[in-house]
Amino acid sequence: MNILHNYKTVASITSLLFLGACADMNTQPNPTGVVYPQTSSAYTLYGVVQSIDLVPASSGNNIGIGTIAGAVIGGVLGNQVGGGSGNTAATVLGAAGGAYAGHEIEKRNQAQSGANAFKFTVRLSDGSYQSFTQTSNADIRVGDRVQIDNGVVRRY
C-alpha cells in the first residue's frame, strides 16, 4: 500500500507540473464564445524609430519541457530513497530539485543557441520614448515611421 501511495504522490506532482505548463496567462475568459473584432485605436501608437539593437531573446520564466522532464526524473529518483514520510519528502524534494535543474539546463541551451531579438527605441508622436522588443525586424530601419499595435512594431 505504501508503494502505491508513493506512486500516487509522484503522479500528482507530475500532473500539477503538466497542467501548470499548459496554462496560458494571456487569455481572457469569454463565457459567451462570441468573437468580436479587435479595434486598434485603444492600443495603437505612432512614432519614428530612433535606434534598433540586437538583444538576446529571453524566454522569461516559462515552464518548458526541460523543467517538466527534470521534475519527473527527480521525483522518480527521490522516490527510491527512504521509507514512509521520509520517502514522500524525498520524492517532493527530488521533483523540485529536478525541475530546477531541468529549467536551468534548458535556459543555458537556449542562450547558447544564439536566439536574438530586436529592441526598437521609438520616439512616439507625443514626444516620449518607448522601447519594444520582438523577434522579427520586418525590414524596419532607423528613421522609419512605425505603428505599434499591442506592442508589435511595424512600418506604415
How many Cα atoms sit within 13 Å of 140 on the Cβ side?
Answer: 30
Comparing CA positions, the residue from 124, 117, 118 lying closest to residue 146 is 124
How far apart are alpha carbons 59 and 42 in whole angstroms? 27
pLDDT of 25 above 50: no
126: left (phi over 0), alpha (psi -120 to 50) or beta: alpha
Domain match, 122 and 83 both: no
Most confident stretch, 40-44, 47-51, 64-68, 97-101: 47-51
% of the chain exceeding 70 in pLDDT: 65
Calculate mean pLDDT across residues 84-96. Answer: 84
Higher pLDDT, 89 or 33: 89
How far apart are alpha carbons 91 and 77 in whole angstroms? 7
The continuous run of DSSP H or E covering 18 comes out as helix 2-22
* Owning domain of residue 90: 1-24+61-114
Domain match, 87 and 18 both: yes
DSSP state letter for 83: S
Domain match, 19 and 53 both: no
The continuous run of DSSP H or E covering 141 comes out as none
How many Cα atoms sit within 13 Å of 153 on the Cβ side?
Answer: 30
pLDDT of residue 141: 93
Q: CB 103: neighbour CB atoms within 10 A?
A: 19
Quick: pLDDT tens for 11-23: 666 666 665 555 5
How many Cα atoms sit within 13 Å of 92 on the Cβ side?
Answer: 7
Comparing CA positions, the residue from 76, 86, 155 lying closest to residue 120 is 155
Domain match, 125 and 52 both: yes
* Domain count of the fold of the chain: 2
pTM of the predicted model over 0.85? no
